[in-house]
Structure 1
């Protein structure tokens, strides 16, 4: 009995380890620009849709795959989960070079290289890969959606927007689903100062106004409202053909809320051509 329990514990440890690796190979997937982790669904499909999820400040791609509620909700729907690694800063924490003009890795080039590598190795469909991320990862998603709206088929930032000064404009129509906690004090809806006033997070609603302008929406007023569980959703659909813009608020703080993954996938799969 003891031997069986030890064997079961060992297998559980191996399963946990495998989740943090390059699918069924040990270690992260390495490319010249960096590395990423991936978990694949059980699927016989010739190509796989995917969610590329960017970790927050101080997090890791390995840590993303430990978000079992999110990962299992995505893989259960047949999606691969791709978790790239941010670059380490001098203090040892990983993050993303999201703010224009401050240097660092070309994250657009890195993320598109990750997607191309995942397509080659695992059959991930580049045309059905949603870019998402939490906190600093959400900042990165928001900036890339603004600067290169056609780089990914859709964008789904969680608890992350722009920093001040906001961009003057975004490059063009985009499909974006923003999720945020009503009581978030790390990235408040109104933004906040950091570093003794040296930096300032932006206002989430001001960021949405930029995307409404890029999507050529006819009005700032939402034309669709819905409730999904605890989520309060606002939608702008009288906009440029092929674009999509929605916001979901939940009664919580700084985190990826329960129920986010299936809600986001429902939104994405309802988009034309998704």
Structure 2
């Protein structure tokens, strides 16, 4: 889907490109619908991880997470940190327009345009773009994966799933790797009420049931269990062709855990065609 958008915008086959003066700097790359930060490895046509910040954050703060950013760049990935569109209070940062029915920016269109811009300016690989995000960014990842599973080559949310009411169905098979802290009390595995009960975070395991249905998995039971350092992993196999579904739990709270970058990259690189 990203490649189709690039072709429609005339970005496929362009030589040169505009001045790439915002890579690796504090300056954001500006596009018509928003802005993003980006840092690049010293490789040609690298894959790209688009990492969405949490509630009250911004792209610059995401780039200061050296464990995540430097770990991915060392593996040869470019890292993009877009800026959300929803103001969360005076001086309190940004969030994402993820919940169905909210008015505001079309975040899927914005992210597609941001990736198209990065392909043109920095020559990242349009066929290998992973959408990741933390907390509110993880909610955004989950809703986009549900609505447009082919927009990105894989979806890897951290500490963020759906809100209630959960979606009844998702559009089709998806490649999904969800990471969550066992003691997360901001986005608990069971969810919680927000805004005096106006909103309610969903249940992560109920979300996994939705993903198993979307991926046409033959059984609710995981097909395998494994450990990667502190991460306890469970995987569902034998599902729809081209799909993937895995959960990794770690013994910590609301955070992007150390070691996530390598674990996620190993998972992605082990997928067919990645």
- What pairs up with 1:120-269 in 2 under 5 angstroms? 120-269=120-269
Aligned length: 252
Alignment match, 1:50: 48
Q: Which runs of 4+ in 1 moved over 6 A?
A: none
Q: Which has the higher contact order (CA 8 A, sep 6+)?
A: 2
CA deviation map 1:118-151 (0-9, x unaligned): 0000001121010000000000000000010000
Give the corresponding residue for 2:77: 79
* 1:13-28 correspondence to structure 2 within 5 Å: 22-23=22-23, 27-28=27-28
Counterpart of 1:108 in structure 2 is: 108
Q: What does residue 39 of structure 2 align with? A: 39
Aligned CA distance change for structure 1 residues 26 and 58 (closer, same or farther; 3 Å):
closer
- Partners of 2:24 and 2:38 within 8 A in 1: no
Per-residue deviation, 1:102: 1.1
Say which SS state the counterpart of residue 125 (structure 2) adopts.
strand
Is 2:29–2:35's contact at 8 Å kept on the other side of the alignment?
yes
CA offset at residue 88 of structure 1? 3.9
Could you tell me which of 52, 58, 62 is aligned with 1:60? 58
For 1:90 and 1:254, locate their aligned partners in 2 and report how far apart those are by CA, in whole Å. 19
Alpha-carbon shift at residue 157 of structure 1 (Å): 0.1
Deviations 1:199-250 (A, max 9, x none): 1000000001000000000000000110000000000011001000000000
1:253, 1:74 → 2: CA distance? 22
Bigger Cα Rg: 1
- Once the two structures are TM-superposed, the CA of residue 74 in structure 1 deviates from its matched residue by 0.3
Gaps of 5+ in 1: 1-20
Q: Distance in 2 between matches of 1:56 and 1:229?
A: 25
CA distance in 1, matches of 2:271, 2:70: 22
Please give the per-residue CA displacement for 1:132-174, whole angstroms capped at 9, x wherever unaligned. Answer: 0000000000000001000000000000000000011000000
Cα distance in structure 2, aligned partners of 1:206 and 1:54: 23
TM-score (norm 2): 0.90
In the other structure, the counterpart of 1:3 is none
Cα offset, 1:90, TM superposition:
5.8
The answer as to whether partners of 1:22 and 1:36 remain within 8 angstroms in 2 is: no
How many angstroms apart in 1 are the aligned matches of 2:70 and 2:102?
36
Higher mean alpha-carbon deviation, 198-207 vs 88-97, is at 88-97
Q: Could you list the per-position Cα deviations for residues 5-36 of structure 1 after superposition, in whole angstroms to 9, with x for gaps in the alignment?
A: xxxxxxxxxxxxxxxx8215662100000000
Q: Distance in 2 between matches of 1:88 and 1:221?
A: 38
Contact in 2 for aligned 1:55/1:134 (Cα 8 Å): yes
